[in-house]
């Protein structure tokens, strides 16, 4: 009996050691050498995260998180590297050519680093399937090496500094499934070669300096699910061929210049989940075919010239976000709007409502600014009750600067489409939700993520918080005495950082309007302030004629949207001060 047990034990020991023997296949010696060279070039040798004394294809020494191997070579005795993930490591070198020595490498993920230079031409010989270089400082023309990697399924170079035109050789990448070129400095028209990428299901080209029109050939991308074309400087009209993209579930086009369009024909896009056609010069009425789109969750048609009424099909319960801000919609506000729990913005239209309609500003999720601010903002207060200065600590609590100057608190955590009216002398209207963020929590009040620079300690409290919005943020000064004022807008970039990490690569760009007049196009706080965490104050002389001051910050689709995390974009403002240039009585 005892013997049998012992034998069994011995047998299982042998079995186990045998098993572990087969699992201990080692990384090919040449590949190990190449990995050491690569780690050296990337400045990662000696980092305790990676122990070259452990086999790279084992789970030991942290390699399991970084390297995936195929160990089937030489009858399960040799491993080769097939996948490398070295993300978020602050790597600040150029991408080394030594990656080409890993002949079986298929997946390379170098996102969220601080890589400089460009892609070495030697990489043309690699047979990668997926590559992500998202969020680095890579620059120069579109890398030729990438156009030779005909095996590519996934190519992401979002958030770098590549420039120049998209080369026609991109047509080589016929297998491409997902392509992201957003947030670079690409210019020129979209080349006809792109029409040949008929397997694309995902294409994002936002925040570049393209010109011309969105081409008609987009109809060739018949498999496309996700198409994002925001902040690209394209001209309208929208191509009518867009109606052929029946597989779309996420369509975002914004901020076209030039020619007007009528509403595109989208009725065959039955799988549509998100539709953004913002500031696209669309006129005419909104069609009423949305009831058939059972997954439709968000519609943003704001800043167009749409006329007619709000389609009844928008009342479907699945449609949770509706932005119709600043159009030319008319007619009575439908009953379902008045009682809606949706995130709904119908402000800046010509809608009318009867006694059952909204009476006060505090309408929960519905932003319909007119009832509270009333048309043309009349101030019924007597001169003695009017104000002649205004100070707001946007997104922050009340502060007394130098114990003399009080900045009012602005801490109402309202949701994406909202109006806040403080009952007295100011209000704000906020439009939009950060729909592409991974979590749907909408943080509209931001706090500084790192230490502020060069801001006098007496003023830091104005800058440690800021208010943001996904599309547009408008502050109103109400019941001001008429006259000339100095309006100061205080800005500081408090989300991106001033260091050598990927967090410093974010770019925030928005437009500033005062009294409806464009004061700064493509305002970039970091550029003007000379870095993140520094203050910049824009000062304007404003002649207040109708007791009302209006300051609008509008996001025109430019700047990064994925740094430090997806959904970080939109205007921010730290404080507002309004001081009279006259001697108040």
Ligand X SMILES: *[C@@H]1O[C@H](CO)[C@@H](O)[C@H](O)[C@H]1NC(C)=O
Residues that bind ligand X (CB under 6 A): 72, 75-76, 89-90, 107, 130, 153-154, 174-175, 177-178, 199, 260, 281, 283-284, 303-305, 307, 328, 330, 350, 376, 401-402, 405, 448-452, 458, 460, 464, 482-484, 499, 501, 543, 545-546
Residue 305 or 315 with smaller CB distance to ligand X: 305
Which tokens go with 267?
A: 């009725």
- Residue 63 to residues 35, 41, 133, Cα–Cα distance (Å): 12, 18, 20
Cβ atoms of 109 and 115 closer than 8 Å: no
Residue 239 or 364 with smaller CB distance to ligand X: 239
Tell me how far, at minimum, the Cβ of 128 lies from ligand X, in Å.
10
Cβ atoms of 338 and 359 closer than 8 Å: no
The verdict on whether omega for the bond into residue 140 sits within 30 degrees of 0, i.e. cis, is no
Residue 17 or 402 with smaller CB distance to ligand X: 402
Evaluate the CA torsion angle 433, 438, 439, 442 in order and state its sign.
Answer: negative
**Residues paired with 187 in a beta bridge:** 209
Residue 211 or 305 with smaller CB distance to ligand X: 305
Residue 75 or 339 with smaller CB distance to ligand X: 75
Residue 206 or 494 with smaller CB distance to ligand X: 494
Residue 256 or 296 with smaller CB distance to ligand X: 256
Which tokens go with 292?
A: 């058939």
Tell me how far, at minimum, the Cβ of 317 lies from ligand X, in Å.
30
Q: Within 13 Å and on the Cβ side, how many CA atoms surround 140?
A: 12
Residue 405 or 445 with smaller CB distance to ligand X: 405
- Give the alpha-carbon dihedral of 163, 254, 467, 297, to 10 degrees: -130
Tell me how far, at minimum, the Cβ of 494 lies from ligand X, in Å.
8
The verdict on whether omega for the bond into residue 430 sits within 30 degrees of 0, i.e. cis, is no
Tell me how far, at minimum, the Cβ of 5 lies from ligand X, in Å.
29
Helices (H), 154-241: none
Tell me how far, at minimum, the Cβ of 7 lies from ligand X, in Å.
26
- The residues near 440 (Cβ < 8 Å, ≥ 6 apart) are 433
**Nearest-angstrom CA–CA distance, 256 and 279:** 7
Q: Where are the beta strands (DSSP E) in 493-567?
A: 510-514, 517-523, 535-544, 549-554
Tell me how far, at minimum, the Cβ of 415 lies from ligand X, in Å.
25
**Nearest-angstrom CA–CA distance, 383 and 377:** 16
């Amino acid at each position: 009996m005892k013997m049998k047990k012992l034998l069994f034990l011995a047998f299982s020991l042998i079995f186990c050691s045998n098993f572990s023997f087969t699992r201990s296949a080692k990384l090919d010696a040449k590949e190990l050498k190449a990995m050491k060279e690569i780690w050296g070039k990337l400045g990662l040798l000696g980092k305790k995260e990676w122990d070259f004394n452990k086999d790279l294809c084992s789970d030991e020494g942290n390699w399991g998180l970084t390297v995936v191997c195929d160990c089937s070579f030489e009858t399960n005795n040799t491993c080769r590297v097939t996948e490398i993930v070295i993300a978020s490591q602050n790597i600040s070198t150029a991408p080394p050519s030594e990656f080409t020595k890993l002949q079986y490498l298929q997946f390379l993920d170098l996102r969220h680093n601080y890589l400089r230079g460009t892609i070495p031409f030697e990489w043309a010989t690699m047979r990668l399937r997926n590559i992500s270089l998202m969020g680095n400082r890579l620059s120069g023309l579109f890398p030729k090496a990438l156009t030779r990697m005909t095996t590519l399924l996934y190519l992401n170079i979002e958030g770098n500094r590549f420039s120049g035109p998209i080369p026609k050789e991109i047509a080589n990448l016929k297998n491409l499934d997902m392509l992201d070129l957003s947030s670079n400095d690409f210019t020129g028209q979209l080349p006809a070669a792109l029409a040949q990428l008929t397997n694309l299901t995902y294409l994002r080209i936002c925040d570049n300096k393209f010109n011309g029109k969105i081409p008609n050939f987009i109809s060739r991308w018949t498999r496309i699910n996700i198409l994002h074309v925001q902040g690209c400087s394209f001209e309208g009209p929208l191509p009518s061929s867009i109606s052929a993209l029946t597989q779309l579930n996420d369509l975002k086009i914004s901020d076209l210049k030039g020619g007007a369009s009528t509403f595109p024909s989208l009725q065959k896009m039955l799988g549509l989940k998100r539709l953004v056609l913002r500031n696209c010069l669309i006129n005419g009425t909104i069609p009423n075919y949305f009831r058939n789109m059972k997954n439709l969750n968000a519609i943003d048609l704001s800043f167009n010239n749409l006329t007619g009424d709000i389609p009844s099909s928008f009342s479907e319960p699945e449609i949770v976000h509706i932005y119709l801000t600043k159009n030319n919609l008319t007619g009575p506000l439908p009953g379902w709007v008045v009682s809606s729990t949706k995130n709904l913005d119908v402000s800046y239209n010509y809608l009318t409502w009867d006694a059952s309609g909204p009476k006060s500003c505090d309408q929960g999720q519905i932003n319909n600014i007119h009832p509270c601010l009333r048309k043309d903002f009349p101030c019924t207060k007597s001169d003695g009750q009017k104000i002649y200065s205004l100070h707001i600590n946007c997104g922050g609590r009340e502060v007394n600067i130098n114990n003399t100057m009080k900045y009012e608190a602005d801490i109402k955590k309202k949701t994406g489409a909202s109006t806040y009216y403080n009952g007295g002398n100011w209000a704000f209207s906020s439009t939009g939700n950060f729909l592409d963020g991974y979590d749907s929590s909408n943080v509209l009040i931001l706090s500084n993520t790192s230490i502020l620079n060069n801001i006098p300690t007496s003023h830091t409290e104005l800058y440690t918080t800021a208010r943001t919005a996904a599309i547009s943020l408008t502050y109103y000064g109400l019941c001001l005495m008429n006259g000339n004022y100095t309006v100061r807008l205080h800005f500081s970039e408090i989300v991106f950082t001033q260091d050598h990490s990927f967090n410093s690569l974010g770019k925030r760009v928005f437009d500033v309007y005062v009294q409806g007049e464009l004061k700064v196009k493509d305002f970039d706080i970091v550029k003007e302030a000379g870095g993140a965490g520094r203050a910049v104050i824009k000062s304007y002389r404003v002649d207040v004629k109708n007791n009302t001051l209006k300051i609008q910050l509008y996001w025109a689709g430019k700047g990064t949207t994925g740094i430090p995390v997806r959904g970080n974009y939109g205007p921010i403002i730290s404080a507002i001060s309004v001081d009279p240039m006259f001697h108040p009585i």
